[in-house]
Amino acid sequence: GRAVSVRLCAVGDIAEGEILRVDLEDGRALAVYHLEGAFYATDDLCTHGDASLAEGEIEGCNILCPFHLGSFDIRTGEPTGAPCSVALRTYAVTVEDGEVLLAS
Ligand code: FES
């Protein structure tokens, strides 16, 4: 059978270079990114402190945290700028019929 996918948003909900915070029914908060024609998802909460990454800025392939301007690679979750040192959890995302889905 087909794996059940969780809908995150519509493709048109996030402009290129923008971020959307999505609160899932199970309580998880994700940041969904539209980066160079592809979509990515990570935990919304910075691993350094209590900051919502969806309120940060995209710079190249990195998300800059709004609190202390640490950064992570959006594609891998690896920390790319101090003070961030703990990787961010990333989630596999697929696009189907104009919908951005969490591949589960
Ligand atoms: Fe994100 Fe400090 S809370 S860099």
- Give me the residue spans of the domains in the chain: 6-102
Nearest CA to ligand 1 atom 3: 49
Confidence check on the interface: ipTM exceeds 0.95, yes or no: yes
Q: Which ligand 1 atom is the nearest neighbour of the CA of 53?
A: 1
The fraction of the chain above a pLDDT of 90, given in percent, is 89
Sheet with 90-91: strands ordered across: 19-23, 29-35, 38-43, 90-91
Spell out the residues 6+ positions from residue 69 whose beta carbon is closer than 8 angstroms to its own. Answer: 81
Q: What is the pLDDT of residue 2?
A: 58
Q: What is the pLDDT of residue 86?
A: 98
Q: What is the pLDDT of residue 5?
A: 79
Q: What is the pLDDT of residue 36?
A: 87
Mean pLDDT, each 10-residue run in order, the chain (104 residues)? 79 97 94 95 98 97 97 98 98 96 86
Cα 79 to averaged position of ligand 1 atoms, centre (Å): 11
Alpha-helical runs (H) found in 1-104: none
Q: What is the pLDDT of residue 1?
A: 47
Sign of CA dihedral 80, 83, 89, 94: negative
Superfamily of domain 6-102: Rieske [2Fe-2S] iron-sulphur domain (2.102.10.10)
